[in-house]
């Protein structure tokens, strides 16, 4: 509405001005040599307007004529650009679908239509990778280095190709160059972190993590966890050459991750060597609450040098009070009880473990207990046989790889802090056999049933063929029933005390 009012107002003002101009007396004089042209004022103004419009039209036509070749070229370029963009779109779809031939055809079309434009180069590189042509992919990535906007992409592509051909020095050079040009590049920082960790340059790796956290490439919690792992690795490496520095590094790691087992073990053992038993105990107890681990239990039992076996058993029971439901608590008590020759306590802890899940470690400890307490070789062999087919205890596992000890870097993926203390991969039948073994315990022997003699005289019958060789005395005796126990453990040695609880047989 407002626009309509403004339009009519302008139209009214123009009409009023034109009417006023027409009523204004006067004339315009144009002299050309000896000739004079005299017209009224309104006619002269209208003539000037018409001449101006005609000149503008003529200039536009002439400009269009002179620019016609460039306009035709521009139209052709736009058409080629549209065809090239269409070829790139279809080529990327073909790459995603895994159509090698179609991807290569569209890559050639985009190269012909667009030359070395970034998306065309990307399509060329991806189609070459799909076709298994590393040389073509490297050429495309090298061409990307010429343009500032594609340098990072080109360096990443060259880095990946170098890794595929196992050329670690070249891959490291590309990652270093990418990090130098773009310090906030996440992939370059991660690659350099892996290279430094593989070279055991723990301090250099810690420096990269600090930079990544400050630049917000990784979040603060992840950076703190990785830094703790690297500090623990540095402490392990310097433990022999510089124990005091190792203690400082381990304590710094524990401030970020109190449950880190290797750091807690190193710190506790160094503090124990210095006589600071209270602080070593606190560190181990804190770590134990986060991650019950046999290394922590061993360090906790040996925190005081010269303690007796009974003292270590008391410490094991203190650990069990901290984490009563943890299997490692019962293992610690069982181990300490065997060393202290408290066989009843050891049997109680081990039998609960074997009933819950008879693993390799539980079976081996039961075999050791039977060997020391009774010397019953039948039971020892039974437990050793069960250990050969029992599931394994938790171990350090990273990317499906089971390691004998903790390591800061995964040997498969190169990721820092990948090792976890958990149950290793094992065959499903191991769990099934463990459950079956847990249900097979010794049945208490019941009194044999007594067959009462009848008043009727026995009828003399000829023995059946299957009874041949049985003496009349044996045939007349009452039958003695006993439970069938597989893998007969053999006779009990004389002079041993009766034992309570379950006894398992394989």
Instruction: State both tokens at 432.
Output: 């099934």
Provide the pLDDT confidence category of residue 299 given band limits of 50, 70 and 90: very high
Task: Write out the H or E segment, with its range, that includes residue 422.
Answer: strand 420-422
pLDDT of residue 169: 92
Provide the pLDDT confidence category of residue 26 given band limits of 50, 70 and 90: confident
Instruction: State both tokens at 188.
Output: 């370059």
C-alpha to C-alpha distances, 301 to 18, 98, 263, 463, 464, nearest whole angstrom: 111, 60, 17, 68, 67
Provide the pLDDT confidence category of residue 44 given band limits of 50, 70 and 90: confident
Provide the pLDDT confidence category of residue 64 given band limits of 50, 70 and 90: confident
Per DSSP, the three-state class of 438 is helix
Contact 487, 444 (CB under 8 A): no
pLDDT of residue 354: 86
Looking at every residue in the chain, the average pLDDT score rounds to 82
CA gap 285, 303 in Å, rounded? 12
Provide the pLDDT confidence category of residue 216 given band limits of 50, 70 and 90: confident
- Report CA Rg, the chain: 46
Give 385-417 pLDDT, tens digit per residue: 999 888 888 999 998 888 889 999 988 888 898
pLDDT of residue 294: 94
Say how many C-beta atoms besides its own lie within 10 A of residue 194's C-beta.
Answer: 21
- 434 vs 195, more confident: 195
pLDDT of residue 435: 52
pLDDT at 15 over 70: yes
For the whole model, what pTM was predicted?
0.67
CA gap 425, 415 in Å, rounded? 20
Provide the pLDDT confidence category of residue 321 given band limits of 50, 70 and 90: very high
What's the rounded mean pLDDT across residues 72-98? 90
Q: Among residues 86, 123, 93, which one has the least CA distance to residue 108? A: 123
pLDDT at 209 over 80: yes
Q: Among residues 376, 387, 389, 390, which one has the least CA distance to residue 488? A: 376
pLDDT of residue 173: 94
Provide the pLDDT confidence category of residue 68 given band limits of 50, 70 and 90: confident
Per DSSP, the three-state class of 27 is strand
- 363 vs 434, more confident: 363
């Amino acid at each position: 509405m407002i626009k309509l009012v403004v339009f009519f107002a302008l139209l009214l003002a123009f009409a009023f001005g034109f009417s006023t101009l027409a009523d204004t007396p006067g004339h315009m004089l144009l002299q050309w040599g000896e000739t004079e042209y005299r017209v009224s004022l309104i006619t002269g103004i209208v003539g000037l307007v018409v001449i101006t419009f005609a000149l503008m039209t003529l200039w536009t036509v002439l400009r269009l004529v002179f620019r016609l070749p460039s306009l035709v070229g521009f139209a052709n370029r736009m058409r080629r650009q549209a065809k090239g963009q269409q070829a790139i779109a279809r080529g990327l779809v073909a790459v995603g679908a895994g159509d090698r031939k179609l991807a290569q055809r569209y890559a050639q079309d985009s190269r012909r239509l667009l030359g070395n434009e970034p998306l065309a180069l990307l399509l060329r590189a991806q189609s070459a990778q799909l076709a298994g042509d590393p040389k073509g992919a490297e050429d495309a990535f090298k061409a990307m280095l010429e343009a500032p906007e594609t340098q990072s992409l080109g360096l990443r592509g060259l880095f990946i190709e170098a890794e595929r051909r196992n050329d670690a020095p070249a891959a490291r050079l590309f990652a270093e160059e990418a990090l130098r040009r773009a310090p906030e590049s996440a992939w370059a920082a991660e690659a350099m972190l892996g290279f430094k960790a593989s070279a055991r340059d723990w301090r250099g790796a810690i420096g990269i993590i600090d930079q990544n956290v400050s630049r917000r490439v990784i979040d603060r919690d992840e950076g703190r966890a990785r830094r703790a792992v690297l500090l623990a690795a540095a402490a392990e490496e310097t433990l022999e050459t510089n124990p005091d520095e190792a203690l400082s590094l381990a304590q710094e790691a524990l401030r970020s991750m109190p449950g880190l087992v290797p750091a807690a073990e190193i710190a506790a053992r160094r503090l124990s060597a210095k006589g600071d038993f209270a602080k070593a105990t606190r560190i181990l107890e804190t770590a134990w609450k986060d991650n019950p681990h046999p290394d922590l239990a061993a360090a906790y039992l040996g925190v005081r040098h010269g303690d007796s076996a009974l003292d270590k058993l008391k410490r094991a029971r203190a650990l069990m009070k901290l984490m009563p439901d943890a299997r490692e608590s019962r293992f610690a008590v069982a181990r300490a009880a065997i060393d202290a020759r408290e066989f009843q306590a050891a049997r109680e802890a081990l039998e609960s473990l074997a009933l819950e899940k008879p693993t390799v470690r539980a079976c081996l400890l039961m075999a050791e207990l039977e060997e020391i307490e009774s010397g019953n070789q039948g039971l020892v062999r039974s437990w050793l046989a069960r250990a050969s087919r029992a599931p394994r205890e938790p171990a350090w596992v990273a990317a499906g790889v089971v390691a004998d000890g903790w390591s800061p870097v995964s040997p498969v993926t190169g990721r820092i802090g990948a090792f976890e203390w958990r149950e290793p991969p094992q065959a499903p039948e191991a769990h099934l056999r463990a459950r079956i073994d847990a249900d097979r315990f010794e049945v208490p022997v019941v009194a044999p049933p007594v067959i009462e003699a009848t008043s009727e005289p026995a009828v003399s019958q000829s023995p059946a063929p299957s009874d041949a060789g049985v003496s009349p005395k044996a045939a007349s005796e009452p039958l003695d029933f006993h439970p069938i126990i597989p893998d007969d453990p053999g006779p009990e040695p004389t002079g041993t005390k009766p034992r309570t609880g379950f006894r398992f047989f394989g």
